[in-house]
Amino acid sequence: MKDSTVKHTHTNLLINEKSPYLLQHAHNPVNWFAWGEGAFSKAKREGKPVFLSVGYS
């Protein structure tokens, strides 16, 4: 059971996802995006590459 009183220093957009895998990374100090148009639009707008993580757990 998770402790709901834990304070996190970082929270990224994965906090809004349903996938248990993505949710376990929602407090990483990385601005992760789930696969989708938002990620690609931001990368294009900022002229940055997309770093893709396919998972490892």
pLDDT tens for 18-47 read 999 899 999 999 889 999 999 999 999 999
Q: Which two tokens stand for residue 3?
A: 């402790």
Q: Where are the domains of the chain?
A: 1-56
Residue 46, classed as helix, strand or coil, is helix
Which of 4-8, 10-14, 33-37 shows the lowest per-residue confidence on average (mean pLDDT)? 4-8
Give ∠ CA 40-24-14 in degrees, rounded to 5.
30
Which pTM does this prediction carry?
0.72
| Residue 52 confidence (pLDDT) | 86
